[in-house]
Amino acid sequence: MRVGVLNNFNHTDAEIEQVKKLSAKWNVFVNSNAKTSIRYGPCIVTVNPDLDKFIEPTGDISKIAAARIKVIADPCDGPSVAMEQAYVWCQAHDIPVLLTAMRFPSGEMLGKFTKNPNLYEWKNSYYRIRGWRSIKAPLSAYYCDKDHLGCPSCKNCALLACGDSTLEIYGINLSSSGLCPYNCPGCFARKCLQMTKLKLPLFDKPFRNKKQRGLK
């Protein structure tokens, strides 16, 4: 169970209390980013949420099951340095790397972070990387949905966080987390809320989105 899909898990007392109750029934990992001090695990934490800078995680980093790095094909100088710093930090702390291909909602944003927009194609409401071959990454890294077939073909987050790649992937948004306080570039969660015209994400109910069900 991925805790935090449309909202970030911020490691507050209320969130931890709520997720402990979930863990009695589910194999749980929390989805966070490095802007939040780590207290609960297993945690998969995004270490370059702003793309153009690496943010070193704080708190109890022993709770980190993997560091998610948003990767950009042929990145501009800022994102390139941030990605390299993230790799180095993960290696120094023996933390597995989970690569997530960054997708961009607009050509303007795409042009801000990559030197070569031609490495991207417009598909399903985003500019998406045409292929992982354009990505420089450590050989030991894990890839999020490398084959673009959804969670059933990947399950790396389940493997890294729970040690079991056979688990079905579900998600949940905690009411104790509220709306995500951050505004990271190209935020998927914020776009979803705008598209569905929801004022709040669906709270406290396990669900499977298209990617988790295996749809492209």
Query: Which of 148, 39, 53 minimizes the C-alpha distance to 100?
Result: 148
CA atoms within 13 A on the CB side of 117: 12
Number of separate domains in the chain: 1
Per-residue pLDDT tens over the stretch 164-178: 999 999 999 999 998
Averaged pLDDT for residues 11-17: 97
Rounded to two decimals, what is the model's pTM? Answer: 0.92
Query: Which of 200, 206, 177, 163 minimizes the C-alpha distance to 16?
Result: 177
Tokens of 16: 């931890």
Averaged pLDDT for residues 83-105: 95
Q: What is residue 192's predicted lDDT score, i.e. its pLDDT?
A: 66
Range of the domain at 63: 2-213
Residue 39 has pLDDT above 80, yes or no: yes
Q: How far apart are CA 28 and CA 34, in angstroms?
A: 19
Averaged pLDDT for residues 179-200: 73
Q: What is residue 194's predicted lDDT score, i.e. its pLDDT?
A: 61
**Mean pLDDT for all residues in the chain:** 91
Q: What is residue 191's predicted lDDT score, i.e. its pLDDT?
A: 64
Averaged pLDDT for residues 153-169: 93
- Kindly indicate the confidence band of residue 68, based on its pLDDT and cuts at 50, 70 and 90: very high
Q: What is residue 147's predicted lDDT score, i.e. its pLDDT?
A: 83
Tokens of 11: 């490691």
196 or 189, higher pLDDT: 189
Q: What is residue 148's predicted lDDT score, i.e. its pLDDT?
A: 81
Tokens of 78: 């800022």
